[in-house]
Amino acid sequence: MTGNERKSYSLAEISRQLGGEIEGDPATTVSRVATLENAAPGSIAFFANERYLPQLKTTRAGAVILGEAARKATGLPRIVSSNPYAYFARVSALLNPPSPVWPGVHSSAVVDASALISPQAEIGPHAVVGREARVAEGCVIGAGCHVGEGASIGAGARLFPGVTIYHGCVIGERVTLHSGVVIGADGFGIAMDQGHWVKVPQIGRVVIGNDVEIGANTTVDRGALDDTVIEEGVKLDNQIQIGHNVRIGAHTAIAACAGVAGSAKIGRYCRIGGASGIAGHITIADNVEISTYTLVTKSIRQPGTYTGAYVFEPHGQWLRNAVQLRHLADLADRVKALEGKPARPRRSKP
């Protein structure tokens, strides 16, 4: 799914499409993007962080994208932008367009006669599309994908090979799902009854908004009764687990290996760190940032950054210190005693 034809653009053409102000020769042409360090003539790189100043000084790039403050930091042809990293992303998209869609159903695909497939959609080899499923125009359903009964895939969505969409789930427009993603498997609903677990049928759906991207091997469970909802513009990295009846607010980004337990509600524009965990049934406000490896066990009402990760150290030092965690309450009591205050009443052990 790449477009390999490498086209050249002049800085003038780029700035005409994307804005920004040119310093140096507007006729300078570039045909690929690169890091400052590995750029060759004909490449355009970006400078958005002071610590790469040495690389800026020595880069062989043909042109550079940078911010206002760095306007004079190089003599190379350059484009000045208020957001050089996002500008670079757009230039890269210009130079690396997605691969074209090849409309049609591969002869090895198995598509139910009642499915509605746009003639402008591409259905890859060995894909399976179930009864009354819908695939809109401009979709690419990759090799070996499975679109379940009654599921709906919005216009321009791309499913890389090996994606599974369970029955009834709804995928928005321009959604990208990477390989191994599973949308709509049963949530973990079980009830203990006389020594056996009774399964609670999971009859909700997963509903995914427009412009969502989901990384490889991430799983989003269907709702138990109501739906699991991923709002528009959400970006999920790889190997994330989203439990049943979760709602993730628009434009929130979650890094790899995080887990969100059932019925949690996450706000808009949140940034959730890798391998973090959000407990079930809690609510997180808009614009909250959760650090890597942090377990959030209570609702968060205020924007801000929240953290709860253990600091690492050489193993022998950790051994000395970690064992004291088991005596921390006692230590606090002893300090209180030294201060001449009465110790807290001791809670009975569980």
Q: Which is nearer to a second copy, 69 or 328 (CB)?
A: 328
Residue 106 among the catalytic residues: no
Q: What is the DSSP letter of 189?
A: -
Q: Which is nearer to a second copy, 173 or 221 (CB)?
A: 221
Spatial contact of 118 and 139, defined as CB atoms under 8 Å apart: yes
Residue 329 binds to a second copy (criterion: CB under 8 A): yes
- Which helix (H) or strand (E) is 14 found in, with range? helix 11-18
User: Which two three-digit tokens encode residue 19?
Assistant: 């804005």
Residue 52 binds to a second copy (criterion: CB under 8 A): no
Spatial contact of 183 and 176, defined as CB atoms under 8 Å apart: no
Compute the C-alpha angle 292/189/245, nearest 5°: 55
Least Å from the CB of residue 145 to a second copy: 9
Catalytic residue from among 126, 244, 281, 315: 244
- Report the candidate in 184, 107, 186 with the shortest Cα–Cα distance to residue 151: 184
Q: Report the C-alpha gap between 119 and 116 in whole angstroms.
A: 9
**Residues within window 10-49 making contact with a second copy, judged by CB under 8 A:** 33-35, 38
Among residues 78, 134, 251, 265, which is the contact residue for a second copy, using CB under 8 A?
251
Residue 343 binds to a second copy (criterion: CB under 8 A): no
Q: Report the C-alpha gap between 70 and 48 in whole angstroms.
A: 9
Residue 69 binds to a second copy (criterion: CB under 8 A): no
Among residues 138, 172, 233, 249, which is the contact residue for a second copy, using CB under 8 A?
233
Least Å from the CB of residue 230 to a second copy: 14
Compute the C-alpha angle 186/212/202, nearest 5°: 15
Residue 189 binds to a second copy (criterion: CB under 8 A): yes
Per DSSP, what are the bridge partners of residue 112?
A: none
Spatial contact of 60 and 39, defined as CB atoms under 8 Å apart: yes
Tokens 């790189």 label which residue?
45
Q: Which is nearer to a second copy, 10 or 106 (CB)?
A: 106
Stretch that binds a second copy, among 23-31, 60-68, 70-78, 190-198 (CB under 8 A): 190-198
**Residues within window 279-298 making contact with a second copy, judged by CB under 8 A:** 279, 290-297
User: Which two three-digit tokens encode residue 209?
Assistant: 């908004």
**Residues within window 158-187 making contact with a second copy, judged by CB under 8 A:** 160-162, 164, 166-168, 176, 178-180, 182, 185-186
Please say whether the dihedral angle defined by the alpha carbons of residues 40, 83, 275 and 211, taken in this order, is positive or negative: negative
**Residues within window 78-137 making contact with a second copy, judged by CB under 8 A:** 83, 85-86, 88-90, 92-93, 96, 106, 108, 110, 124-126, 128
Among residues 138, 156, 172, 259, which is the contact residue for a second copy, using CB under 8 A?
259
Binding footprint of a second copy, residue count (CB under 8 A):
128
| Residues labelled as active-site residues | 244
